[in-house]
């Protein structure tokens, strides 16, 4: 949700912040999340692991970077090429936010897959995960809109999101490696 709120701030200098601009942003985020949920669910059926999960976090981090580094140039090109702000904002949203949001969307179903140990607990696990996810989205919305955008430059916020995602991904991968090492050391003892 933090990135979605920042999308409005990123598009506003070129396309404004009217309802159709927000309609473009919300449409792109909803479409990309739905595709991410589908892909994440599919990916989780093929040897799901915490290290693969960490790689998804790192990919999300990498694909968010162009929002901070290239958004100005992308916006300028689209603004000049597409006169109608409705379609310009839709193309700009797709260009900047579609791929990272697809990858971020993959995390939810993959999380369910990693947390479900028995099929009879799948509903409970999914419910808890969606509760935490929605609560996190609400907190991210409030923190981003009430504080972060007032205190920091938009690009710094994006870089911070990238760093957080990369750290979470690396933590997951390092955790798996340390567990493998301790299991190997334990079996040799």
**What count of other Cβ atoms lies within 10 Å of the Cβ of residue 86?**
14
Length of the chain: 189
The answer to whether the CB of 144 falls within 8 A of the CB of 6 is yes
Q: 131-156 pLDDT, tens per residue?
A: 988 898 888 888 888 888 889 988 99
Which range of residues forms the domain containing residue 53?
A: 2-113+121-188
Please tell me the pTM assigned to this model. 0.87
Q: 154-181 pLDDT, tens per residue?
A: 899 999 999 999 999 999 999 888 877 7
- Tokens coding 126: 């999914």
| Distance between start and end Cα atoms, the chain | 48
What's the number of domains the chain is made of? 1
């Amino acid at each position: 949700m933090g990135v979605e709120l920042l999308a409005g701030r990123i598009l506003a200098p070129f396309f404004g912040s009217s309802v159709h601009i927000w309609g473009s942003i919300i449409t792109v985020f909803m479409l990309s999340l739905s595709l991410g949920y589908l892909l994440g669910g599919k990916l989780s059926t093929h040897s799901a692991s915490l290290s693969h999960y960490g790689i998804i976090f790192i990919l999300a981090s990498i694909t968010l970077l162009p929002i901070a580094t290239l958004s100005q140039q992308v916006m300028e090109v689209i603004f000049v090429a597409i006169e109608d702000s409705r379609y310009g904002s839709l193309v700009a949203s797709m260009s900047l936010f579609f791929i990272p949001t697809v990858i971020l969307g993959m995390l939810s179903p993959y999380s369910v897959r990693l947390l479900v140990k028995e099929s009879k607990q799948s509903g409970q696990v999914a419910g808890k995960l969606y509760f935490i996810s929605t609560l996190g989205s609400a907190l991210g919305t409030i923190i981003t809109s009430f504080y972060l955008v007032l205190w920091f430059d938009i690009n710094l916020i994006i870089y911070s999101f990238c760093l957080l995602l990369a750290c979470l991904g690396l933590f997951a991968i390092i955790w798996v490696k340390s567990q493998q090492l301790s299991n190997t050391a334990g079996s040799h003892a």
